[in-house]
Structure 1
């Protein structure tokens, strides 16, 4: 039999289409437990590569005969060797091209829907990291929101659509991934917007994104209204796009709420978080479609692969929005925080422009799962 590469975009389609896949992950047990490729209909076997150096006989009876088998490791090398050994035993197997590093960086652009007065909203789903970025398109112009450092996906997509990137915005100063906003703005000549309350220490020029600011994209009827919504960071800003979509950054997710502690100020910012979720957002239309900057679990994906839900539905179903007692809310938020994101202080420093790690270092800084939510 033979073994062949499976690319990240092929795995992504299996995730979105809820296909079956058997993953043999040959990384260390701790790495697998911390972070793996998630799929609703995926099955897993984790056996470290070093346990298989002398042969794969010990795992042959644990592998299925009726599903695609994908061998996964950190960078690709180990999975190629294991896949080759399995093929020599008569199995048809695949290995993940580029390993988990490649999976961490892959993004799937998906159309969310049309804007009321013309234009489209696109969501870029980073399945391996839980990051969500956006492109608003109207009348030949585009705005990109919460871009990742893989800037090529956005510039290429804009070129395919035949639109010019005019604005790049970040809902807040990110701490779990490196923003591509400044790089895209520099490459395209677009304006880079950042909430000034998050930008006190940045060392580059930016356009201040403040409450009530309107950023026009294409037709004048397509506006991005800035809504000051602190809690995850002191400057966190949500966007209402075309009176149809609410981009919540890391304040509100589909199945959870944002964490207020990434600057070490959980006790100070939990009140802001509650004010945003329980008062500012309550004044908005329940019909707005919430588009967050992250998702936590694969079950949050809709049938088409998007992560989106009406605000009214979240007020009814999201536990974090239904804690009437303020003391109970404060206790939930400050006592149910996951571990800090990997290298989050270095990521913040990078997004401030204070340090400029090389590309390989940036990849290493981002490795691992998304940890932006209260559990």
Structure 2
């Protein structure tokens, strides 16, 4: 039997469609425990590749014959060899092309809504890392918000739909992934916007994004209203787009809230976080559709693979928005934190322009799960 390569895009569709898939992950146990491909109807078996060098006979009884089988490793090489061994045993099996490296970098565009004057809003789902970025399109112009370093995906998509990228925004200085905002702006001549309170140490020119800033996209009345909402960082800024959508950055997620400690300022910023979530956001319409910069778990995906929820629903159901006691809130937000993202200091310095790692170094810095939320 031939061993087939399955691309990250195909696996993403299986996640979105809630299909069955059996994943044989041949990375070491610690890597698998830290971060794996997640799907609602996926089953897993993890055994390090080195334990299979003498053959796969010992694990054949662990592999189902009634499910599609995908072998996964870090970069694809080991998974090809294991898949070939399984194929020789008569199993129909695929390997993940590019391994977890490719899984970490895949972006899937999903349309999340139409705008009042004929524009559209797209969400780019980075399924393996939990990052969410956005493109607002109107009348041949496009704005990108919270882009990843895989900049070709955005520029190619804009070309495909016949739009010129004129503005690029970051809601805050990211600490878990490298922003592609500056690169896209340089490539396209777009204006790059950054909250000035997060940009005090940056080494490049930017347009200051502050509360009350309106930026017009196209020649229609679609405005992006910037709403200063500190807490995850001191400069964190949300956007209200077309009076319909709230792009919340890393302040508010579907099932959790943003962590305030990625610049070492948890105690200082926790009051800002509460003020943003419990006061500033309360003044907004509950009908706004919240579009965060990350998702935490696969259950947060909608049926079409997008991530969104009405603000009113989050006020009712999101535990992080319903902690009435301020001391309890402070305790939860400062003490109940997951491990910090891999290489987050280096990522922050890269996003400031202080260091310029090469592609392999950037990839290595970002490997691992999303860790932007309070648990």
Q: Say which SS state the counterpart of residue 278 (structure 1) adopts.
A: helix
Q: Say which SS state the counterpart of residue 248 (structure 1) adopts.
A: strand
Task: Give the C-alpha shift of residue 221 in structure 1.
Answer: 1.0
What is the rounded CA distance, in whole Å, between the counterparts of 2:164 and 2:173 in structure 1?
25
Task: Give the C-alpha shift of residue 2 in structure 1.
Answer: 2.4
Task: Give the C-alpha shift of residue 239 in structure 1.
Answer: 0.2
Specify the alignment match of 1:275 in structure 2. 275
Specify the alignment match of 2:252 in structure 1. 252
Matches within 5 A, 1:278-357: 278-357=278-357
Specify the alignment match of 1:366 in structure 2. 366
Specify the alignment match of 1:193 in structure 2. 193
Specify the alignment match of 1:226 in structure 2. 226
Specify the alignment match of 2:171 in structure 1. 171
Task: Give the C-alpha shift of residue 219 in structure 1.
Answer: 3.1
Q: Are the equivalent residues in 2 in contact too, given 1:2–1:91 (CA < 8 A)?
A: no
What is the rounded CA distance, in whole Å, between the counterparts of 1:214 and 1:220 in structure 2?
13
In structure 2, the gaps of 5 or more residues are none
Q: Deviations over 1:205-234 (max 9, x none)?
A: 000000100011013410000000000000
CA-atom RMSD in angstroms: 0.5
What is the rounded CA distance, in whole Å, between the counterparts of 2:81 and 2:171 in structure 1?
43
Matches within 5 A, 1:195-214: 195-214=195-214
Specify the alignment match of 1:18 in structure 2. 18
- Which runs of at least 4 in structure 1 moved beyond 2 Å after TM superposition? none
Q: Deviations over 1:315-341 (max 9, x none)?
A: 000000001000011111111100000
Segment of structure 1 superposing worse, 175-184 or 2-11: 2-11
What is the rounded CA distance, in whole Å, between the counterparts of 2:25 and 2:141 in structure 1?
43
2:231 corresponds to 1:240: no
Q: Are the equivalent residues in 2 in contact too, given 1:231–1:269 (CA < 8 A)?
A: yes
State TM-score, norm by structure 2. 1.00
Q: Say which SS state the counterpart of residue 83 (structure 2) adopts.
A: helix
In structure 1, the gaps of 5 or more residues are none
Q: Deviations over 1:164-211 (max 9, x none)?
A: 000000000000000000000000000000000000000000000001
What is the rounded CA distance, in whole Å, between the counterparts of 1:140 and 1:110 in structure 2?
19
What is the rounded CA distance, in whole Å, between the counterparts of 1:57 and 1:116 in structure 2?
60
State TM-score, norm by structure 1. 1.00
Q: Say which SS state the counterpart of residue 264 (structure 2) adopts.
A: coil
Specify the alignment match of 2:7 in structure 1. 7
Q: Are the equivalent residues in 1 in contact too, given 2:9–2:106 (CA < 8 A)?
A: yes
